[in-house]
Structure 1
């Protein structure tokens, strides 16, 4: 079974996240995508972070798709970093072919993640184009460090069965939606009331 792992705070979840999941299902030939709603991102300010339960429920409501699963299991296991989550999943479910899915904006800052090189060596990665990051991501520190392991976009269906490190940069339909912009709009709407 080929499973895409799409992690994040999803604060809030929006149609752009669904777009990425659907594109990865199709273009990578995945059997499923699991949304891993994190308790929090160590690199972000948590002042505006909605409760995990609310974010998981909102994600389940939006992502009503037979091949998409939403979970907040990281909090139950006390996982704070992506590395710990991925290590747990790859060791617990060794019969699955996992692919880490991230937006190009995350690839730009991937080198700041805890044990980022080990993550890249643990499972293949799909990086999906995002507005404002389409030129920065391919030249990022992480992309440069793993440049020789980049697959051609035409070979994306092979990614899930590739020995890591392996990654592909997917171009395609983009959404201009942004969780931070949505939060700012909601904040402005509350102030205007």
Structure 2
């Protein structure tokens, strides 16, 4: 089984997230995609983050594709970092072919994630284009260090079966929506 892992705070989830999910399901030829709603991003201020149950519920309400499953299991397991999730899933479910999915904006900061090299060594990564983030992402420390492992976009369907490190940068339809902009419009100063 080929499963995409798409993590984030999803504060709130929006149509841009759904676009990335649908595009990666199709282009990577995944059987399923698991949305991992995090307890909080360790690199961000989480003081105003809505409760996990609210964010999980809102995400589930938006998703109509039966191949996409929303979970908040990282909090139940006490995981604060993505490497813990990756380690747990690849150890407990060795027969699954996992692919880590992130936006280009996340690739730009990937080198700041705790044990990011371990994540790249454990499973393939699909990076989806984000408006205004391409140049910064592709010139990032992580992209530079993993340059040798980048696949051509035309090989997207092969990614889940690649031995890590392996990653791909996917161009495609984009959404200008962002969770921070949505939050700002709800709470104008």
Fold similarity call, TM over 0.5: yes
Deviation track 1:43-97 (CA, whole Å, cap 9, x = no partner) reads 0111221110000000000012111000000000000000001100001110100
Between the aligned partners of 2:44 and 2:180, the Cα distance in structure 1 is: 11
Q: TM-score, normalised by structure 1?
A: 0.97
Displacement of 1:132 in angstroms is 1.2
After TM superposition, what 4+ stretches of structure 1 lie above 6 angstroms from structure 2? none
Shift of 1:125: 0.1
Alignment correspondent of 1:42: 42
C-alpha deviations, 1:9-67, integer Å up to 9, x for none? 00100010000000000100000110000000000111221110000000000012111
CA distance in 2, matches of 1:133, 1:54: 29
Local SS of the residue matching 2:187? helix
TM-score normalised by length of structure 2: 0.99
CA RMSD of aligned residues (A): 0.7
Correspondence for 2:66: 66
Separation in structure 2 between the aligned mates of residue 173 and residue 48 of structure 1, nearest angstrom = 31
For residues 60 and 79 of structure 2, the distance between their equivalents in structure 1, rounded to whole angstroms, comes to 21
User: What is the CA–CA distance in structure 2 between the aligned matches of 1:76 and 1:30, rounded to whole Å?
Assistant: 26
Q: How many pairs does the alignment contain?
A: 189
